[in-house]
Structure 1
Amino acid sequence: MQALIGTGVALITPFRKDFSVDTEALERVVNFQVENGIDYLVVLGTTAESATLNKEEKKLVIDTIVKANAGRLPLVLGVGGNNTAEVVDELKTTDFSDFVAILSVSPYYNKPTQEGIYQHFKAVAQASPVPVILYNVPGRTASNMAVDTVIRLANDFSNIVAIKEAAGDIVQAMKLIQHKPEGFLVISGDDMVTLPMVLAGGAGVISVIAEGFPKEFSHMVRLGLAKRTDEAYEIHYRIMDSIDMIFEQGNPAGIKEIFKELGICENTVRLPLVNVNEDLANRLSAFVKKFSANTVAVGV
């Protein structure tokens, strides 16, 4: 799955002030990624506020992204949930002709055992007509996918090709890299530890902050993949403060504030999320202005 090596971004869903989907802004977001070095796009992930989108809106988002992308970058579709039968039904009834893979989150809220997680993804793998990227994000799901479970799935199902690992545990990530079968990709799902994971043998990232700074973050990942450590860390430390800030009051409220500052879309989010407060908005604005000035100065 060479298409999944490098920097993917979890696309936001821009909303107008009346909370309707802003398709024109979504087109701008897509073009901003394509024109600034991103390697692939993830559609309808957590950052898209997909939990607040109805079926018609999800189709609108997919259609808008597919049209705006126009085949320029590989697309990955988020298909997951905590009702295995419902996920399987979605996999059997969705047209995946525009997508190279799905990103499927570990079941949330139910808190399944490791065997339950295995059986869930066994059903997903058997139903999916495209390759599967597992998604481990215990901070949202309330359960961690153990290394043994991931490796078991990777060995048992040839179409389970990668994991987006977002436990924020670099030791767990290194164990995945150590024990994974050949060709299986360990992808960072945590922007702050992306570079250490890449340098340890990871395949790249599915990022939030890269959506706001696509040129710089994707360049950092490429430098990491090339083991040009000092150059990569120089970019990492320039971006680092913004990573904490965009998650400080919830995702995607933070990254949408950056997009507002960049003039790409409104900062509107849907309840139960709310906009970042004035203090954080001011700090993000100051960061964007300073970062942009420094980027011009150093050329990246």
Structure 2
Amino acid sequence: MEQLRGTGVALVTPFKKDESIDWNALERVIDHVIAGGVDYVVSLGTTGETPTLSAEEKLDIMKFTFEKVAKRVPVVVGIGDYNTRDVVKRLETCPLDEAVAILSVAPYYSKPSQEGIFQHYKAVAAASPKPVILYNVPGRTGRNMTAQTTLRLAHEVENIVAMKEASGDMVQCMQIIRDKPKDFIVVSGDDALAMPQIATGMDGLISVAANYFAKDTADMVHAALQNDFPTARTLHYKLQEAFDLMFEENNPAGVKAFLQEAGLIENVFRLPVVPVSAGLQARIAAFVKSFK
């Protein structure tokens, strides 16, 4: 799974003013991030507003992404839910031949025990025709997947090959890195923490910011992975204010505000997500204008 090292980007789902999917805009974003040097793309992650997409729309987006990426970079597909049986069914029926791996978020809302999380992922891995990437994001799921649970899955379940860690807990991250199997990939899920996390031994980043800042984000991650931390630090601090602005109110509202300023998409959402406030939009516009 060396192809999961480096910079992945969790693609947004652009909408038209009538809230239908804007396929032309999605193609523009795909071309933009690949031209910027990202190593792979993630289709149907949380940044893609998947909770508001129908099953048919998810399938259409996945197929469209495969078509437009056209094997220029690998594609990871997000398939996760709090209903284990539904995840298993989707894994058994989705056309995943062109995916290199599945990114599956820990079960949310139900707040299962650590044993429940373990059994959920064990069932997901057994059903998946592709390698599985764990995704721990307790700020969204309401339940942290501990280092102990992650390591148990990494060591005991063969088809689980990687981890996207977005707990923000550096100690937990280092416990995973220290004790993981040698070939198990750990990537950051936090743009603002990616550089220091790579310094501790992570293998890269699945980024939100790279939807807009594709080149700078990819260059930062690649420099850090090559132990060129003077360059990585410079790029990290160049992007720090952008990270703060992007996540101040909501993801993906923040990144879509940036993409609107670039003329890549319209700033449209499906409820309950709404655009950022007028004040934040003005600050984002000023930052984009001054950014070099």
Place the TM-score, normalised by the shorter chain, in its bin. Answer: over 0.9
Identity among equivalent pairs (%): 50
Q: Indicate the residue corresponding to 1:163 in structure 2.
A: 163
Unaligned stretches of 5+ in structure 1?
Answer: 295-300
Which aligned pairs between 1:26-175 and structure 2 lie closer than 5 A? 26-175=26-175
Which aligned pairs between 1:215-254 and structure 2 lie closer than 5 A? 215-254=215-254
Q: Secondary structure at the match of 1:37?
A: coil
Counterparts of 1:242 and 1:107, CA distance in 2? 30
Q: Does 1:195 align with 2:195?
A: yes
Counterparts of 1:290 and 1:201, CA distance in 2? 33
| Equivalent residues of 2:81, 2:87 under 8 A apart | yes
Counterparts of 2:246 and 2:199, CA distance in 1? 24
Counterparts of 2:55 and 2:241, CA distance in 1? 36
Runs of 4+ with >2 A deviation: none
| Equivalent residues of 2:88, 2:124 under 8 A apart | yes
Counterparts of 1:175 and 1:286, CA distance in 2? 40
> For this pair of structures, how many residues does the alignment match?
292
Letter in structure 1 aligned against 2:81: G
Q: Indicate the residue corresponding to 1:297 in structure 2.
A: none
Q: Indicate the residue corresponding to 1:261 in structure 2.
A: 261
Q: Secondary structure at the match of 2:144?
A: coil
Offset of residue 59 of structure 1: 2.0
| Equivalent residues of 1:103, 1:132 under 8 A apart | yes
| Equivalent residues of 1:40, 1:73 under 8 A apart | yes
Q: How much is the aligned-residue C-alpha RMSD, in angstroms?
A: 0.8
Residue by residue, what CA displacement relative to the aligned partner does 1:47-99 show, whole Å, maximum 9, x if unpaired? 00010011221122112211111110100000110011111111111111110
Q: Indicate the residue corresponding to 1:180 in structure 2.
A: 180
Q: Secondary structure at the match of 1:111?
A: coil
Letter in structure 2 aligned against 1:142: G
Offset of residue 161 of structure 1: 0.6
Q: TM-score, normalised by structure 1?
A: 0.96
Counterparts of 2:205 and 2:21, CA distance in 1? 27
Unaligned stretches of 5+ in structure 2?
Answer: none
| Equivalent residues of 2:59, 2:94 under 8 A apart | no
Letter in structure 2 aligned against 1:219: D
| Equivalent residues of 1:26, 1:64 under 8 A apart | no
Letter in structure 1 aligned against 2:121: F
Counterparts of 1:167 and 1:144, CA distance in 2? 7
Offset of residue 227 of structure 1: 0.7
| Equivalent residues of 2:9, 2:211 under 8 A apart | yes
Counterparts of 2:64 and 2:119, CA distance in 1? 34
Q: TM-score, normalised by structure 2?
A: 0.99
Letter in structure 2 aligned against 1:32: H
Counterparts of 2:221 and 2:5, CA distance in 1? 10
Letter in structure 1 aligned against 2:212: G
Offset of residue 112 of structure 1: 0.5
Offset of residue 267 of structure 1: 1.0
Letter in structure 1 aligned against 2:255: I
Residue by residue, what CA displacement relative to the aligned partner does 1:215-235 show, whole Å, maximum 9, x if unpaired? 011000000001111111001
Counterparts of 1:63 and 1:78, CA distance in 2? 13
Offset of residue 243 of structure 1: 0.8
Counterparts of 2:85 and 2:144, CA distance in 1? 21
Letter in structure 2 aligned against 1:80: G
Letter in structure 2 aligned against 1:272: P
